[in-house]
Structure 1
Amino acid sequence: MVFELAHEAAGISYNKIAEACGLKAERVGKLARGDGTVTTLAAIERIADGLRIPGRHLGLAARPWEKSASASPPRMEHQNGDDPMKRRNLLRGALAAGLTGAGAAALTAARQDLDSALADPPTADLSYWESTAERYGYGYNGKAPTDVLSGLVLDFDDMKPLFGAPQSVKSRTRLCHVAGQMAGMTAIVLHDLGDHREAHAWFHTARRAAGESGDTGLHAWALAREAMVPLNFGAPAVAADLAEQSRSLAGGQPSAAAALACAVAARAHAAHGNRDAALAAVTEAERLMDRLTPQQAADTWFGYPEQKHHVHLSQALTILGETARAYATQARALELSRSPSLMTRALISIDRATCLAHDGEPEEAARVAAQAFGELPTAYRTGLTRTRALTLYRSIQTSPGVGQLRDVLAVSAA
C-alpha cells in the first residue's frame, strides 16, 4: 500500500523508492502490486527512514530523524525537489482509500502532531522574561537612559535562543508578547536619547511582535508610542497619522493604549495646526482617563497614569496657546508625584516656560527653561529635552534677557 501510494499518488518512480529504501526496484514493484510482504524489522525500518514515515505509523519507535529538528532531509527530497507537494499527494491518496489503514493512521498522526504543538511544556524561561519585561516597564527609576538601553540590548541577546527553539502555540504567543514589550521599551529609550531613526526601527519590530502575539492593545500602544517620535522631531503630520491608526486599533473602550493614543493625537494635531481636531482629542483623552481601571492607570510605560496624562495635555495645550489650562495641568502633573523623573520635571518646566513666552514674558521664560535644562545631568541634556528647549529658544532669541538659555544650550552642545 505504501509503495503503491508513493508511486501512484505522489508520482515517485519505483527506482527512486528503491534507492531511498535500500531495496531492488523489481522488489519494490512487486510489493506495490501486492506480490509479497516485508517481514524483517530491518527492512521495515529502512522503508520508514527512506520515505520519512514516522515510526508510529509502522509500529516502530520514533525514528532518529524525528527527534532532531536539524536532521538531514530525506534523500528523495534532494532528488525530487518538490517533496512537500508529493507528501500532500501521498496523504490525499491515503485518505481517498478510506478512513481505515493508512488513512486512519494519517488522521491520527495529524491530530497528535497538532495536540503536541498546542501542548504547553514547562515555560520557566518565559516566566523569567515576562518578569524582566515587567521590571523594565517601571521606567528609568533614576538610571541614566544609556544604562537602561544597554541592559535591554544585553537581555535581548540572552533571550535570542528562545526564538530558535521549538515552542508550543501558547508559548510562542507569550514569547512574542514579551519581545513586543521589550522592543517597544528599547524604542522609547532611543527616542528619549534623540536617535529617532533607530527608535522607528525598534517600534516597527515591536509592532511586528505584538501583531504575532495577537494582542491588539500592545499593538495600539506601540503605534501610539511610535507616533511620539515624529511628533517630537518635527513631523507632526506623520505623528497624527500614526496616532489615529492607534486610536482605530485600540477602539473606543477605555484602555491605557486608547487614552495614550488620544493624548498623542491631541499633541500631533496641535503641532500640525489642526486646532479643532486637537481639542476634540483632548476631550476624548480626558473622557477615557476618567474611566480607566487602577491597573490601566498604573504608573508604568504600559499604563496611562494621571501624571502622564497631564504631561501630554500640558504639551498639547501649550502648543494651542491655551495657557491657563496648560498651567493648571502642569501644576497637577507635579502635584501627583513627590518625585517625578528628572526628564518629566524638565519637560513640564520647559512647557511652562513656553507658556510664559506666549503670554509675553520671554525673559522669565528663558530663566525657567535655562534653570530646568541646566540642572539636568549630562546624560539627560540630549534628545527630547534639548529639542524642546532649543525650540523655545528659537522662538524668543531676538528678545532681551535670553542669554542664559542660549548659554546652557551651547554648553550641552560642546
Structure 2
Amino acid sequence: MTRSQVHLALPVELLASGEWQEACRSRDFARIFRLVKIKAGIYPSRIAALCGMTPSRVGEIMAGRRGLAHIDVIERVADGLRIPGAMLGLAHRSWEIPAPARTEERLPAPAPPEREPQQVEPAEDLDDLLALVDGQVTRSTLTALRSSVEDYWRRDNEHGGATLRPAVVGHLRYVSRLLDSAEGGLRLDLLAIAAELARLSGWAYFDARQYSTARTYFTQALKLSHGHGDRLFMANVLSCMSLLATYDGNLNDAVTLVCRAQDAARAAGEQPLVMSMLHLREAFAQAALRDARSCHQAVERSRDQYEHVRGREAEAPSWVRYFDETKLLVDTGIAYARLGEAARAEPLIAEGLRREKTDQHRGRALHAFWLASTQLQQGKLDQACTSAGLALDLTAAIDSPRVSGHVQELHRQMLPYAREAPVLVFEQRMREALG
C-alpha cells in the first residue's frame, strides 16, 4: 500500500506526538498540514486531492492566510487524511472500526451520532466566483448537466458515492444559481436536473453513512421535484428516504414513506417497473420489522408488476431502468435474508451475484455480504468466509462506508466462531484491507 492511497493511516508516532495533538485540539490546520507534509510525506497537492480542495487553497491555509471553520470541510479533512474524529472534536468517523455489537443484530449498527448538517461552505474559490457571472442557460447547458449527472451515477455504482460529495454538492449549488435567471421550459428542465442532483447528493451522504445530512438533501430533492410536478420522481425520492429510514432504524417511517411513494406513482399513471421496484423496497422495510406476511405479500406484488414490464422497459423513467430481472432476483433474496429466511435467500443472492456485471463493484460487495450472512446463519462457516472474502476484496476497490459497515457487521456476527481457522484468516485480511 502506498501513501497516495486514501485509506492509509497517518504514522502512529505522528498521532502520538504532543505537537500534533495540540494542533488538532486547537484545529490549527496550518500546523496540521505542515506536520502531515513533514512527518507523513503527504505534499500539499495530495492533501488537496484527499480533502476535496484546490492546491491553492491548501497553500493559503498552510501560510496562515485562510482558516477552516465549516464543519463539512473539517470532516472532509478528517476523512481524507484519516485523522481520528476525537482528535478534532468530531464524532467517531465511519471508517474507524467500531466496537463489537450484539451478534443477533441483522442490520448494520447506525452510524455514530453526527452533528446537524450546516449549509455547504459558501463559494469562495475562483471557479465558484467566476461561475456567478455565467448565468445564461441554454439547451446545450442542460445537455452537459445531464451528462454530468449520468457520469456521477456511473461512478457511484462502480466505486461508491462518498468521494463524490464535494463535486455533486458543488454542481447542485451551481444549478441552484442558474435557476434564478432561467425561465419557461428551460427553468422546468433545470428544476428536474436540480432535483436529480439533490437526490444524488442525498444518496452520496447515505452511502457515507451520514444519515441526517442525507435526509436534508433528499428533502430538498422532494421539494424541487414537487415544483417540477414530477410525481414519479417524487416517488423515487420517497423510496430513497424509505431505505435511509430502514438503515437508520426508523422502521415504521420506512414503511410509511414507501407506501406514500407507491401512491404517488399510481397517481402518475401505469408504470409497472417503478411499481415493481417500490413493492420490493416495501419488502425490505417489512422484513426489517420482522413482518413476514407483509414482506412476502410485497415480494409477490413486485413479481406480478414485473411480469407486465417485458417489452416496455423503454417506457420507464431512466432512473429505474437499473431494476432488471437480476436486481429483482437478488433484492428478493435480501428481503428474505432480512427476515432470517436464510435457506430461501441464499440461492437467490448467489444467482444474482453470478449474473451481475463485474464492474458493479459496490452492488456486488453488498450482495456478497448478504450471501455470507445467509451462509453464516446456516452454519456454513467455510462458505461464509469465502463470500465474506469476496465482499472484502470488492470493498477495497470502492469508497463506501455503508459497505464497510456491512463487512464490519459480518465480522461481529462471526464472533461465536472467533477461534475457527477460516475466521482468523478473514480477520487478518480485514485488518489489512480496512485498517
TM-score w.r.t. length of structure 2 = 0.60
1:279, distance to aligned residue in structure 2 (A) = 0.6
Answer yes or no: is the 8 Å Cα contact 1:187–1:200 preserved in 2.
yes
Task: Give the superposition deviation at 1:208.
Answer: 0.7
Structure 2 residue aligned with 1:393: 411
Assess if the C-alpha contact under 8 Å between 1:130 and 1:178 holds in 2. yes
Query: How far is 1:413 from its partner?
Result: 5.8
Task: Find the counterpart in structure 2 of residue 110 from structure 1.
Answer: none
Structure 1 unaligned regions, length at least 5: 1-120
What is the alpha-carbon distance in structure 2 between the residues aligned to residue 378 and residue 336 of structure 1?
Answer: 20
Equivalent position amino acid for 1:249 in 2 = A
1:195 is aligned to 210
Instruction: Check 1:379–1:127 CA distance in 2 against 1; reply closer, same or farther (3 A cut).
Output: closer
Unaligned regions of 5+ residues in structure 2, if any?
Answer: 1-136
Structure 1 316/144 Cα, relative in aligned 2: closer, same or farther at 3 Å? closer
1:115-159 CA deviation, whole Å, 9 max, x = no partner?
xxxxxx964433432343344344536455344333322322332
The answer to whether residue 195 in structure 2 is matched with residue 176 in structure 1 is: no
Contact 1:192 1:384 in 2 (8 A): yes
- What is the alpha-carbon distance in structure 1 between the residues aligned to residue 429 and residue 241 of structure 2? 29
Match of 2:294 in 1: 277
Q: In terms of mean alpha carbon deviation, does 275-284 or 355-364 score higher?
A: 355-364
Match of 2:201 among 164, 178, 186: 186
Measured in 2, the distance between the counterparts of 1:193 and 1:302 equals: 24
Identify the match of residue 354 of structure 1 among 353, 364, 373.
373
Q: Deviations over 1:93-133 (max 9, x none)?
A: xxxxxxxxxxxxxxxxxxxxxxxxxxxx9644334323433
Which letter does structure 2 place at the counterpart of 1:132? S
Q: CA deviation at 1:407?
A: 4.4
1:28-107 map, 5 Å: none
Aligned identity (percent) is: 18
Give 1:388's aligned amino acid. Answer: H
In 1: Cα distance, 2:155 partner to 2:329 partner: 17
The structural deviation recorded for 1:275 is 0.7
How far 1:163 moved relative to its partner? 1.6
Verify: 1:264 aligned to 2:285, yes or no: no
Task: Report the alpha carbon displacement of residue 278 of structure 1 after superposing the two structures with TM.
Answer: 0.6
The equivalent of 1:216 in structure 2 is 231
> Which residue pairs with 2:330 in the alignment?
311
Matched position secondary structure for 1:253: coil
Question: Which has the higher mean CA deviation after the structures are superposed, 235-244 or 133-142?
Answer: 133-142
For the residue of structure 2 that corresponds to 1:387, the secondary structure is helix
- Which residue does the alignment assign to 1:167? 183
Structure number with larger C-alpha Rg? 1
* Residue equivalent to 1:67: none
- The answer on whether the counterparts of 1:373 and 1:389 sit within 8 Å (CA) in structure 2 is yes
Between the aligned partners of 2:201 and 2:338, the Cα distance in structure 1 is 28
Distance 1:367 1:376, change over 3 A: same
In 1, the alpha carbon distance for the partners of 2:151 and 2:357 equals: 21
Is 1:337 matched up with 2:356?
yes
Q: Distance in 2 between matches of 1:286 and 1:261?
A: 11
* Cα distance change on mapping 1:143 and 1:348 into 2, 3 Å: closer
Question: For residues 268 and 278 of structure 1, what CA distance do their matches in structure 2 show?
Answer: 8
For the residues of structure 1 that align with 2:147 and 2:394, how far apart are their CA atoms? 34
Q: Distance in 1 between matches of 2:191 and 2:282?
A: 27
Verify the 8 A CA contact 1:255 1:296 in the aligned structure 2.
Answer: no
- Kindly indicate whether residue 415 of structure 2 is the aligned counterpart of residue 384 of structure 1: no
Q: 1:229 aligns with which of 210, 225, 244?
A: 244
Cα offset, 1:188, TM superposition: 1.6
Give the direction of change, closer, same or farther, for the CA distance of 1:217–1:317 in structure 2 (3 Å limit). Answer: same
- 1:289-328 aligned at under 5 Å gives the runs 289-292=306-309, 293-295=312-314, 303-328=322-347
Structure 1 vs Structure 2 CA RMSD: 2.8
Change (3 A) 1:286 1:259: same
Post-superposition offset of 1:338: 3.5
Bigger RCO of structures 1 and 2 (CA < 8 A, at least 6 apart): 2
Instruction: Describe the SS at the equivalent of 1:273.
Output: coil
Aligned to 2:391: 372
Q: State the alpha-carbon separation in 2 of the partners of residues 190 and 301 from structure 1.
A: 20
Q: Secondary structure at the match of 1:339?
A: coil
User: Which residue among 145, 167, 170 is the counterpart of 1:129?
Assistant: 145
Q: CA 1:122–1:142 in 2, change beyond 3 Å: closer, same or farther?
A: closer
TM-score relative to the length of structure 1 = 0.63
Could you tell which deviates more after superposition, 152-161 or 371-380?
Answer: 371-380
Secondary structure of the 1:295 match is helix
Structure 2 distance, partners of 1:371, 1:211, is: 41
- Find the aligned partners of 2:379 and 2:407 in 1 and give their Cα distance: 17
1:247-295 per-position Cα deviation (integer Å, ceiling 9, x unaligned):
2221283344322221111011111111111111111111222222222
Deviation of the 1:210 alpha carbon: 0.9
For 2:127, the equivalent position in structure 1 comes to none
Q: Which amino acid aligns with 1:212?
A: G
Shift, 1:228, TM fit: 1.3
